[in-house]
Amino acid sequence: MKYPAICTAAATVALAFGAATAHAHNMTGVKSTHEVTAKPGALLGNHAMPGTVTKVDHKSGMVHVTSMGAHMVVHFPPPTITNLKAGDKILLHLGYSFEG
């Protein structure tokens, strides 16, 4: 069964991501915030994951990443990934929010 995923992602080599929340490391190496809120539009599940780029489609902006044993496909605006290539080590910053 496939589950939909709603996330924002930023590779540190391509995009800057700022959050005014404190982070902590857990045993898996994933950084996450401790604050949880259910307000519409609030960023939830905010965390960072180290990964390795396995494939980049510079035209569409789709980037394939392996992180912590999982394969993910994330999207970036194509102009922000012009220098990204397979084999690059990146840090993905992820989070989600509920629509109003």
Whole-model pTM?
Answer: 0.62
CA distance 13 to 25: 21
Residue 7 falls inside a structural domain: no
Q: Which of 1, 25, 5 is nearest to 72 (CA)?
A: 5
Helices (H), the chain: none
Give how many domains the chain has, as a whole number.
1
Residue 86 falls inside a structural domain: yes
Region 3-22: what's the mean pLDDT?
A: 35
Tokens encoding 78: 């194509």
Radius of gyration of the CA atoms of the chain, in A: 14
The CATH number of the domain holding residue 35 is: 2.30.30
The one-letter code for the residue type at 50 is: P
- At residue 20, the pLDDT reads 27
- At residue 99, the pLDDT reads 83
CA distance 16 to 61: 16
